[in-house]
Amino acid sequence: MTPKRSFRVYFTAHPDGRLTGILLRTWDWFFDRPSPAAYGVSEEDVLAQLEAELHGMVATKEDALERYLWDDAFEVRTITVEVHPQTTVKKRVVIGKRRIPIRLSYLWSKLREGGFRVMLPRFSHWFIVEELASAPEVLRQMVTTALLGENPRSLYDFRMEGEEYVRAWSPRLAQAHERGLAGRKGHSAPRKEERPTLEAVAEELVDRAVRQKLPPVVGESAELDAAMRLVDRAAPASILLVGGAGVGKTTWVYRLARRFAAWRREPGRRRVPRLYSTSGDRILSGMKYLGMWQARCLKLVEELSHEGDFLHVGALLPLLRPQPDGASIADLFLPALRAGEVSLIGECTEEELEVAQRRAATVVSCFQVVRLREMEAAAVPGLLAEYEVRRDLKVRLHPAGKKRLVQHLAMFRRDVRFPGKALRFLDWLAQEGQAGAGPSAASATKGGAKGSAGEARLLYPRDVSAAYARYSGLPMELIADEVPAGAEAIAKGLRQRVVGQDAACAVAARVLARFKAGMNDPERPSGTLLFVGPTGVGKTELAKQLARTMFGDEGRMIRLDMSEYMLPGASARLLATGPGVVSLAQRVRQEPLSLVLLDELEKAHREVFDLLLGVLGEGRLSDDEGRLVDFRMTLIVMTSNLGVSDRAAVGFGGGGERGGGEGREAEAQGGGRGVVPAAVREHFRPELFNRIDHVVTFSALDRDSVLRIVDLELNQAQARTGLVRRGLRLRATEEARARLSELGFDPRRGARPLKRVIEEQVITPIAARMAADPGYREREVPIRVESGQLVVG
């Protein structure tokens, strides 16, 4: 008896936990269409999508189910193949000598008539061998020949992302086909399956609006009313929404979906358009094999053509991004766009629009541009009041509190537009309230009022400032006018951790005081400082303390070693984007409130200096995709050793100013009167040097300063978990402190070796004693000098 046949689905697990499923077929034609494929959160999700696609395939007679039915039982094995990719020699493309290993999965099954079927799903290819043991050798020959001389970048598409396996699948469609009922079954598929590709990669927003599942929308939109002439016609136009982040581009789409939902309720209304929403990344998800993503795009065009419906594609630039074969999503949509057969809604900023026009002017010309203006700050409090009622928020802002919030957002979040950034804060506040965090202790003061059971809690200006401090990470002292924090108080806090550089701390404190007062230039970074001085005297430590003081966390410092950007092409690495890339542009976009430390600036390539001109002058940078990165909320600190070799010897007894007197204060404010500022002026072009707010010189450390640093380091060591848990207390004699200062100070490296010395001479002996003696606890640990040597314990 012939066994019942069924489908075979080849599953691939991705790092994000999702799965791709591809139907295997028993034979292929020349120039064949890609096999049905789906991408979902689970096997059931993938199989549901595949079943919908099969129903559509049968209904349109695009393919025959017979090609996908198997009676073979497959098993999976892996093989590693080494491929010689292409490279260039004197501008000629040649096959390179290096090898790239590729790990591939292959399937095999034993045939009843003898031999073994071996299948390589990634290549849509199979063959039959007499003995299974010969399969690896045949596969290696086939793959190395097929990929010989390929672009190394394209080989990345063949990487193994996760587990790959085969599952037999027998839905009702396959069972009906086996009984000879496929024709009737295929034609009886429900209407919703007529657009399987759209339903697989997009959400239908009008249906969600009818079911009240869309986010609440408040206020009015004159831009939507003006654009309805482009929408309410037989062949709707493609629309490009242009405006800054937060201005309301996605909300405009939600308003349109709600407008369509209202049309559905009107009696006698002609057909109402549907509005699908997706993104470039979602269209490409799971499309890892050759030709798959192109087939999906063409299928989307087919399902949308001449229907009068809209596809919201989100950001425009990802659609223009070239894929490994050089084509883009927009290229496949372009013929239908030009003919007016499909209607898209895209989003971009003004800067991204300029990039798009340079990169693909023909695509942009197919869109009608609708510009969205930022809401006036004076109108935001009224919108917030409406939003609080619509969302039924349990934490609400007093009218004065709303004005305080607008003030904070206008000053500290200039990268995002109103009203988006204000509504986002209210959403965060509501979530914080649900989590039980409340508006902190400030609510118990005269500034806050707690509502009774069932009533909303009311936040006054001081409470709003406290909440915004938690939301942004900015210290309350720097954002609230009622909390005093003058330059001298800030400098005192910096001097507690930065020893021997009182003048530098004073200059940095004035920058922070200017930031608190809101007197910094709103179109430039919050401050640009160049720290110049010997190694190991506190330049990096002061940058860390500035990050902690200004942004509440030392982790908000983005540190770049400019010696890694010495070669031509270095600036491109600072602007790079994409999966797995961690560049300056991406990090500042993710954390706009941060301190950027450019260590040893003089070592960077000159093209990096050209890039910094725009950052220091206008607080703006465009990444390699043309998207704007806002540096206006960052504090930029650069360090340099320029001119240090020309100064007097560093260290105890060396030349260099000491103390915190007026002479060093003048040099720190500098302005170029000392040797080091002169060296800086000579090295950097005037247009770069003139964009620096302060050149701050650091002097050599004297003996007392190094002793204070020893105390700071020992205090930090005392806070380690092991010592605290066992109740061990470090106690260093004066001789031990002096000995540590001598061992930890180097004339060329300053106090930088001190951490290593304390680790080796103090921490390591204690750790060894603790590991060997469980009873070593609740006592003082003396650190002393005997016969010129440090003794611990």
| Cβ neighbours around 692 below 10 Å, total | 18
The mean pLDDT value for 659-666 works out to 36
Distance of CA 55 to the CA centre of its chain: 39
Q: Which pLDDT score, from 0 to 100, does residue 114 have?
A: 86
> Distance between CA atoms of 21 and 279, rounded to whole angstroms?
21
What mean pLDDT is predicted for residues 380-397?
93
Q: What are the pLDDT digits (tens) for 199-252?
A: 999 999 999 999 989 998 998 888 998 999 899 887 899 999 999 999 999 999
Query: Band of the pLDDT at 1, cuts 50, 70, 90?
Result: very low
Which of 321, 510, 346, 351 lies closest to 415 in space, CA to CA? 351
The span from the CA of 341 to the CA of 307, in Å, is 8
- Looking at the predicted structure, is the pLDDT value of residue 719 above 70? yes
Percentage of residues of the chain with pLDDT beyond 70: 90
pLDDT score for 30 = 56
- Tell me the pLDDT of the chain averaged across its residues: 87
A 10 A CB-CB count for 740 gives 26
Q: Which of 180-189, 530-539, 564-573, 681-690 has the lowest mean pLDDT?
A: 180-189
* Structure confidence at residue 31 (pLDDT): 59
Tokens of 443: 């609510």
Q: Tell me the DSSP string of 127-188.
A: EEESSGGGHHHHHHHHHHHHHTT--HHHHGGG---S-EEEEEE--HHHHHHHTT-HHHHHHT
Instruction: Please tell me if the domain spanning 196-371 has the same topology as the one spanning 487-645+674-697.
Output: yes
Alpha-carbon distance of 644 to 641, in angstroms, equals 6
Q: Are the CB atoms for 223 and 371 separated by under 8 Å?
A: yes
Question: β-strand 557-561 against 595-599: which pairing, if any?
Answer: parallel
Rounded Cα–Cα distance for residues 589 and 75 (Å): 46
Query: Is the Cβ–Cβ distance between 356 and 320 less than 8 Å?
Result: yes
pLDDT tens-digit readout, 41-86: 999 989 989 988 888 787 777 777 888 888 889 999 999 999 988 8
Q: In this structure, are residues 629 and 574 in contact, taking their beta carbons and an 8 Å threshold? A: no
Topology (CATH level 3) of domain 196-371: Rossmann fold (3.40.50)
Instruction: Identify the DSSP state of 36.
Output: P
**Of the options 3.40.50.970, 3.30.1360.70, 3.40.920.10, 3.40.50.300, the CATH number for the domain spanning 487-645+674-697:** 3.40.50.300
Reference 318, options 274, 289, 278; nearest CA is: 278
Give the pair of three-digit tokens for residue 46: 């993938």
pLDDT at 610 exceeding the cut of 90: yes
Are the CB atoms for 532 and 695 separated by under 8 Å?
Answer: yes
Q: Is the pLDDT of residue 189 over 50?
A: no
Give the span between the Cα atoms of 87 and 670, in whole angstroms: 51
What the block records as the tokens of 771 is 């590991």
pLDDT tens column, 341-366:
999 999 999 999 999 999 999 999 99
The class of domain 703-792 in CATH terms is mainly alpha
Written as six digits, the tokens of 183 are: 């024709």
Compute the distance between CA of residue 181 and CA of residue 51 in angstroms, rounded to an integer. 16
The pLDDT score that the predictor gives to residue 750 is 80
Please check the confidence at residue 793 and state whether its pLDDT lies above 90. no
pLDDT (tens digit per residue) in 514-566: 999 999 999 999 999 999 999 999 999 999 999 999 999 999 999 999 999 99
The pLDDT assigned to 252 comes to 97
Q: pTM for the complete prediction? A: 0.70
Task: Indicate the pLDDT class of residue 282, thresholds 50, 70 and 90.
Answer: very high
Listed in sequence order, the residues at least 6 apart from 96 whose beta carbon sits closer than 8 Å to its beta carbon are 84, 85, 86, 87
Nearest-angstrom CA–CA distance, 604 and 614: 16
On the question of pLDDT at 99 being above 80, the answer is yes
Number of Cβ within a 10 Å radius of residue 497:
17
Specify the pLDDT at position 657.
39
Q: What is the mean pLDDT of residues 475-485?
A: 93
| Inter-residue contact 479 to 468 (CB < 8 Å) | yes
Q: What is the pLDDT of residue 637?
A: 98
Q: What pLDDT shows up at residue 179? A: 60
* Distances from the Cα of 166 to the Cα of 12, 25, 54, 105, 289, angstroms: 9, 13, 18, 11, 17
- Please give the Cα distance from 212 to 542 (Å, whole number): 53
The two tokens of residue 74 are 């497959």
For 483, residues 6+ apart whose C-beta sits below 8 A from its C-beta are 476, 477
- List Cα–Cα distances, 148 to 104, 135, 155, 160, 776, in angstroms: 16, 20, 10, 19, 65
> Which bin fits 518, alpha (ψ -120 to 50), beta or left (φ > 0)?
left
Q: Among 176-190, 589-603, 647-661, 760-774, name the one with the lowest average pLDDT.
A: 647-661
* Domain range list for the chain: 6-178, 196-371, 388-433+456-477, 487-645+674-697, 703-792
Q: Where is 204: in which H helix or E strand? A: strand 203-204
- pLDDT at residue 787 above 60? yes
In order of 161, 189, 419, 616, the CA distances from 523 in angstroms are 44, 59, 20, 10
Strands 7-13 and 19-23: antiparallel
pLDDT of the residue at 790: 94
Predicted confidence (pLDDT) per residue in 616-627, tens digit: 999 999 999 889
Range from 26-30, 151-155, 585-589 carrying the lowest mean pLDDT: 26-30
pLDDT at 648: 45
> Distance between CA atoms of 539 and 520, rounded to whole angstroms?
23
Task: Give the per-residue pLDDT at 346.
Answer: 98
Work out the number of other CB atoms within 10 angstroms of the CB of residue 197: 23
